[in-house]
Structure 1
Amino acid sequence: MENKAANDLVMFWRGMHERDLSAVVAIAEQVHPDYPESPEVFAERLRLFADGCRVAVDGDGGVHGYAITHPALLGQPPALNSLLHALPSQADCLYLHDIALTDAVRQYGLGGKLVELIKRHAMTIGIGHAALVAVNDSAAYWRRRGFSDYLKADAALLKKIGSYDHAAQYLVLNIVDTV
């Protein structure tokens, strides 16, 4: 997926490689300083589900952002900075673990393109929902892209969301209703 801006900089999502991990960690530290995760978390997600790991690159291959998704159970996101060890065998959602874009590329429509990629990917692997934990006052952004509040939150979910911060929100997208 390509996207051109007025200054003709081409930005697109491509699959993440192990060689991208140092750039991913650096971007995470810059964009999400209040939500630190160890480099092992990013490496494990790539190892467990490479198909769900992408980087936002320019035409010269420079990495300006990343997105990590993986199969999960609806209403059961991992806590911040935690290893999964394995993916659930009966996954029913594609969890957007993290997206981070540098300020320089936020105007290129990469978030919207990512949502479309997530929808197609979820459908391809037979999963009917996507989910995420919205932080940094981003819930309104995700709602405009079709995500809504998860109405079955239990104490365990609230505790995991709380590992991010008190304002974090767990949002869900019903893939079938959006295509």
Structure 2
Amino acid sequence: MQAEDLPAVIQIAAQVHPDYPEDEAIFIERQQLYPQGCWVRQHGSQLCGYLISHPWELGAPPSLNSMLQALPNLASSYYLHDIALIPTGRGTNATSEILAHLYAHALGAGLGNLSLIAVNQSLHFWQKQQFQPANHLVPAAKLLSYDVDACYMMRPLASPRIQQSITA
């Protein structure tokens, strides 16, 4: 994701997540803090999706529409802040490709798990991706900043040492 992609990303976010609005400053900050975790998906010449992710602290997800200020020095999780695909990007194997890239990136960063907050009735989708509910790790007020149905989820990954021996 480049700075010039941000207007299209913000437009996609408004279309896909209308009940979870975030200020433009949130997108700008995430892209500046951790550009290697911000990706876009194109279908032809059209931007059809994006992913925003970054190292973070397990059990301490940011509240909706909140600035991070900085990334933690010692992250304990790789946090998937937002993923969105408009209809033209669906059915193209985009999600599988994006998630495979995300898993590899998290392992490469030395992190043994992924975390996210499931919204928009996506709990079952994320369970199919091997994420498990972990609301017990998060203060209820954090989840309520999204909505009453928001669910904090976590997926353990192969340990970096195991992954290195598999790929060696």
TM-score under structure 1 normalisation? Answer: 0.86
Pick from 95, 118, 124: which aligns with 1:140? 124
Q: Which residue of 2 aligns with 1:160?
A: 142
Query: Partner letter of residue 156 of structure 2?
Result: N
The residue that corresponds to 1:170 in the other structure is: 152
Checking the alignment, whether the CA contact within 8 Å between 1:147 and 1:173 is kept in structure 2 is yes
Letter in 1 for 2:10: V
Picking from 111, 114, 121, the partner of 1:130 is: 114
* Structure 2 match to 1:86: 70
Aligned to 2:29: 44
- Give the match for residue 8 of structure 1: none
Cα drift, residue 151 of structure 1: 6.0
The aligned amino acid for 2:130 is G
Once the two structures are TM-superposed, the CA of residue 109 in structure 1 deviates from its matched residue by 1.8
Q: How many residues align?
A: 161
Deviations along 1:4-44, one digit per CA (max 9) or x if unpaired, are xxxxxxxxxxxx00000000010111111100000100000
Any stretches of 5+ residues in structure 1 without a counterpart?
1-15
Which amino acid counterpart does residue 174 of structure 1 have in structure 2? Answer: P
Aligned mates of 1:109, 1:142 — CA distance in 2: 16
Preserved CA contact (<8 Å) 2:58 2:77:
yes
> What residue ranges of structure 2 are gaps of 5+ in the alignment?
164-168
RMSD, aligned CA: 1.5
Q: Residue 56 of structure 1 corresponds to which residue in structure 2?
A: 41
Which SS does the other structure have where 2:110 is aligned?
A: coil
- Separation in 1 of the partners of 2:66 and 2:135? 24
Give the partner amino acid of 1:80. Answer: L
TM-score normalised by length of structure 2: 0.91
Tell me which residue corresponds to 2:92.
108
Find runs of 4+ consecutive structure 1 residues off by over 6 angstroms.
none
